[in-house]
Structure 1
Amino acid sequence: MDKIVKGLSNDHNIKITITDATNLLNEIIKLHETNPLATIALARTTMATILIGSDMKEESDKITSILNGKGPIGTIMAEYTGHKVRAFCANPQFSLEEIDRDHDVISQVVGTKGYLQVIKDLGMKEPFTGKIKLISGEINLDFTYYLVQSEQIKSLIACSVKLNKDNTIEKAVGLYAQLLPEHQEEDIDYLEGKVENLGSITEKLIESDDLKNIFHLIDPACKIYEPEEIKFSCSCSFEKALESVKLLGEEQINEVLENNSEVEIVCDFCRTKYLISSDDIKKLMIS
């Protein structure tokens, strides 16, 4: 079962959330036929989105992360709402030959010249939107930096992925540690010390067979709560696909109507294909 597990360190005023998203990420990468490096980048972005979204209170609340560093993978988008997850990347099969294996590969895949944008729709008049320039492109540090800059939360995001020889995911685990509002100066020093050991934490995320051990990396006395199940699910529908026809140019719509033909709409997230007939478009225009 894919899950989110939350914990609380009373000694250091730190809230800890861990996700194991191995199964749902395997569903996503199978749909998009990602190459190995695209798999890692897409998985890290998706887990970071799940972790930040785990703070939302209502099932209808939604968080969307958009990452574009001008790298070969193009735009990565992940969405989390009501314990349901979906994600995609623009170029899942970019050429691996352009990646220099002697340097940080994920930073090259994502790029470092773009941005990370996080949109939270909490059912208010307008969604909250935060946007930062990427500082590394390796994703973990970028989400950590986003939380500090846009939400003023001292935090640590660490997401790690291990692949099988057939390029499926053997394990995908992420950790989110954040200081509570009542934190003290020594709690900041404590968490910053953990941030400095980010590399070793990401290794232990994969090595550990028990999520409790990961909580104890932050605080051995951490209180751990019951897990919450998460799953891959796409909210696309024929009705939404039909509405998207409005985004087509007038010339293209008229061509479909004149030829009595169809428009194929493909969902970016789940690759479901919807065939919109000229009759469907006529009904849409009338309504």
Structure 2
Amino acid sequence: MADYLVRAMGFNGQVRAYAISSTETVEEARRRQDTWATASAALGRTLTISVMMGAMLKGEDKLTVKIEGDGPIGAIIADANSKGQVRGYLKNPHVDFDLNKKGKLDVAKAVGTSGTLSIVKDLGMRDHFTGQVPIVSGEVSEDFTYYFANSEQVPSAVGAGVLVNTDHTILAAGGFIVQMMPGADEDTTAEIEKRLSEIEPISKMVQDGKTPEQILEAVLGEGNVQFLDTMPVEFKCHCSRERVEMAISSLGDDEIQRMIEEDHGAEAKCHFCNEDYHFDIKALKQLQSSPS
């Protein structure tokens, strides 16, 4: 089943909700980044939540998520837009640990429990919106929950799960975001909190093959959800040879000539998708406005 997310309202408009199946998206990121199991879970949770946040945007709006913890994987970066496209990478993909006391991948140990979660939204205006909060657990989902409550003042529940096969491929990935709308009554809040305390872990739901719709019904209760629409989701990098050519051209003729004389070519690699771009002497000369 191809990845997709669903947007919904709940409890007669008191709740806004999103859920996603992201297995193929996270697997593509894992393949490109060559992540080991615990690193895959950290990156996968971040991508899963980031793409749902992207679905909250409109038009050409986009956002960048950066988690900078004190754990061994280093910074996690993810870009998402309003079209269901996301990409991401982490500094050290080769991190893996034994399972934690709960029998789960030890994401908090990989991410670290001290640091910051920051989100920059490009909404097409002169200035970007930037929000930043401290990492509260390193488990990623809890850190995003804290971000929504403290940076955007939106009471939210965030869940994301990633299961990894023994060969390091992704078995299942998915998640949800539930947000209380202004004016939501206390009974609704209490009902959702109760259900969240009783439902299966999100990783178990995605392992059992529950659809995004079924995940939201589990979280909010059947009959309490009004589904609005769905959106396909994919790992999508926006790099291209043409963009790299523009970047090299912007360095100026003298710098390009230095590359020709000293390096006899140029190499560029995209952090997000690990695509390599090679430029030999002939290609570099073509990028000069007045070749030497």
Q: Quickly name the TM-score band, shorter chain normalised.
A: 0.7 to 0.9
Alignment of 1:235-246 (within 5 A): 235-245=238-248
Q: 2 CA distance for matches of 1:165 and 1:127?
A: 41
Contact 2:163 2:203 (8 Å CA) reproduced: no
2:279 aligned with 1:272, yes or no? no
- 1:229 aligns with 232
Contact 2:26 2:44 (8 Å CA) reproduced: yes
Percent of pairs identical after alignment? Answer: 28
2:257 aligned with 1:258, yes or no? no
Query: Residue 246 and residue 102 in structure 1: after superposition, are their counterparts in 2 closer, same or farther (change >3 A)?
Result: farther
Query: Residue 42 and residue 201 in structure 1: after superposition, are their counterparts in 2 closer, same or farther (change >3 A)?
Result: closer
How many corresponding residue pairs?
283
Letter in 1 for 2:52: L
Alignment of 1:148-167 (within 5 A): 148-167=149-168
Q: 2 CA distance for matches of 1:210 and 1:170?
A: 15
Query: Residue 132 and residue 198 in structure 1: after superposition, are their counterparts in 2 closer, same or farther (change >3 A)?
Result: farther
Query: Residue 273 and residue 185 in structure 1: after superposition, are their counterparts in 2 closer, same or farther (change >3 A)?
Result: same
Alignment of 1:1-287 (within 5 A): 1-11=2-12, 13-58=14-59, 60-81=60-81, 82-94=83-95, 96=96, 101-102=100-101, 105-194=106-195, 196=197, 200-217=201-218, 218-221=220-223, 222-245=225-248, 255-259=258-262, 261-277=264-280, 286=289
Shift of 1:90: 1.1
Q: 2 CA distance for matches of 1:241 and 1:165?
A: 37
Letter in 1 for 2:221: D
Q: 2 CA distance for matches of 1:223 and 1:55?
A: 17
Q: 2 CA distance for matches of 1:40 and 1:236?
A: 24
Query: Residue 24 and residue 220 in structure 1: after superposition, are their counterparts in 2 closer, same or farther (change >3 A)?
Result: same
CA deviation map 1:134-153 (0-9, x unaligned)? 00000000001001111111
Q: CA RMSD in A?
A: 2.8
Query: Residue 255 and residue 152 in structure 1: after superposition, are their counterparts in 2 closer, same or farther (change >3 A)?
Result: same
Structure 2: tracts of 5 or more residues without a match: none
Structure 1: tracts of 5 or more residues without a match: none
Shift of 1:53: 1.4
Give the secondary structure class of the aligned counterpart of 2:126.
coil
Q: What TM-score comes out, normalization by structure 2 length?
A: 0.85
Contact 1:16 1:175 (8 Å CA) reproduced: yes
Query: Residue 198 and residue 91 in structure 1: after superposition, are their counterparts in 2 closer, same or farther (change >3 A)?
Result: farther
